[in-house]
Chains A and B, each alone.
Chain A
């Protein structure tokens, strides 16, 4: 169970942190928040790329 939820938990925690960071301040913190919010999208990109590679 821990293994199944380990990565989703990390992604979820980073998303929450990013949403709150973006709300708290401007400037550098905003950029950090935006970059952190890319983590879920990057994960999807990684999964798609890997699946297409395996398909080939």
Chain B
């Protein structure tokens, strides 16, 4: 068993690592809760906004691209992505290939009619931005990542302290007739220990997600730079080969894979001379792993498939494990339940700290609990 001094040290670590990150963790849980049901909420908020037009034909990607560029005169195409559950193509354009994300324009088009599809998800976009970076861009993401690491430290120190707290109590003890502070201490311990694995997985994958920009930047500066090196200094081709043919060539090279998005020549995810057609697998595991197929943008010839390095694949796999959106509605509901429990653990921890400070005469410090076997009167 731990010595009294060791318990006091772990208690200090647990208290302060928790307190520093609690406010942000509460915000992350509150914004994360609706984000679990992103698709369902978007559908509920806009039930009649748009439905696909059944014209009997599917517009070519080249034609959709031409329409998108006609609607944004003077802009260049950066990316084209494809919705998985509806016949919608999303085209990202900007005034230049080097435009920052905030200066990019995204428009969605019906593949049947070519008509523009409204994008009415402002509330969810706001929540996602708040959850991801506090509207501060990369500094905000890295800050939340640091809060995530503090949270992990709080969880680990909580596990260490669980032993002395529970030394003389059977597992699952809830002393309901005791004082409010004792009750909430028991709730805090029980809720925390039974959800600890989920909390650590979601917390640590959240930390990995906050490193998305540096990870993608590393890939661009190493793997993508190697591919682009032979074409350094060259402008993107004045006339591009057919986009439909490029996508068809990529799909022919990997018929078992699904189309995710196309990066146009010179954009952030391609070389100046290639279409990068990003494909993904069709199982829950491989659906998150992307492989770019490079197509010569002048000739339309298939150049090759490039596997993503391990660190990009780790990032890709951390996203579903964080958001819980990979196993249907049942998994989402369970994710929501675990999130609510985490909220209770955070709030009860805060309550216990405040209660102890406002009533220091009452016994129940971690040290006393550990040595007497009583959590509080």
- Which residues of A are interface residues toward B (Cβ below 8 A)? 1, 4-8, 11-13, 15-16, 19, 22-26, 30, 33-34, 37-38, 40-41, 43-44, 46-48, 50-52, 54-55
Q: Does B143 contact A (CB under 8 A)?
A: no
A46 CB to closest chain B CB (Å) equals: 7
Query: Could you write out 15 A-B pairs with CB less than 8 Å apart?
Result: A11-B193, A12-B196, A12-B197, A13-B197, A16-B197, A19-B321, A23-B320, A23-B321, A24-B283, A37-B334, A38-B334, A40-B198, A41-B337, A47-B190, A50-B174
User: Chain B's interface: helix, strand, loop or mixed, by majority?
Assistant: helix
Q: Judge whether A48 and B174 touch: CB under 8 Å.
A: yes
Name 18 extra pairs, CB < 8 A, besides A4-B162, A30-B331, A52-B176. Answer: A1-B163, A4-B166, A4-B167, A5-B162, A5-B163, A11-B197, A15-B197, A19-B201, A22-B327, A24-B283, A24-B284, A33-B331, A34-B330, A40-B198, A44-B190, A46-B172, A47-B190, A55-B177
| Assembled-state Cα–Cα distance A19/B197 (Å) | 10
| Assembled-state Cα–Cα distance A45/B328 (Å) | 24
| Assembled-state Cα–Cα distance A38/B194 (Å) | 11
A33 CB to closest chain B CB (Å) equals: 7
Q: Judge whether B195 and A40 touch: CB under 8 Å.
A: yes
Q: Which residues on the B side are within 8 Å of A43 (C-beta)?
A: 172, 194
Nearest-CB residue, chain B, relative to A54: B176
Q: Which residues on the B side are within 8 Å of A48 (C-beta)?
A: 174
Q: Does B211 contact A (CB under 8 A)?
A: no
Q: Which residues on the A side are within 8 Å of B193 (C-beta)?
A: 8, 11
Q: Judge whether B163 and A23 touch: CB under 8 Å.
A: no
- Which residues of B are interface residues toward A (Cβ below 8 A)? 1, 162-163, 166-167, 171-177, 190-191, 193-198, 201, 283-285, 317, 320-321, 326-328, 330-331, 334, 337-338, 341
Q: Judge whether A4 and B194 touch: CB under 8 Å.
A: no
Known contacts A8-B193, A23-B321; decide if A55 and B167 are in contact (CB<8 Å): no
| Assembled-state Cα–Cα distance A8/B337 (Å) | 18
Nearest-CB residue, chain B, relative to A46: B172
Nearest-CB residue, chain B, relative to A52: B176
| Assembled-state Cα–Cα distance A4/B171 (Å) | 7
Known contacts A1-B163, A16-B201; decide if A23 and B326 are in contact (CB<8 Å): yes
